[in-house]
Structure 1
Amino acid sequence: MKFWDWYLKIAAVSAMIGGSMEFFMIKTGFYDKVTVLESEKRAWESSPEAQAIREALNPWRNRKAEERKDT
Structure 2
Amino acid sequence: MRFVGWYMKIAAGGAAIGACMELFMIHTGFYEQVTMLESEKRAWESSPEAQAMREALNPWHKRDEKEK
Shorter-chain TM-score bucket reads over 0.9
Report the aligned-residue RMSD: 1.1
**Over residues 12-70 of structure 1, what are the superposed CA-to-partner deviations in whole Å (9 max), with x where a residue is unaligned?**
000000000000000000000000000000000000000000000011123132245xx
**Paired position in structure 2 for 1:64:** 64
1:1-71 alignment to 2 at 5 Å?
Answer: 1-67=1-67
**TM-score calculated relative to the size of structure 2:** 0.93
Q: Where in structure 1 are there 5+ consecutive unaligned residues?
A: none
The count of residues paired between Structure 1 and Structure 2 equals 68
**TM-score calculated relative to the size of structure 1:** 0.89
Q: How high is the sequence identity, in percent, across the aligned residues? A: 69
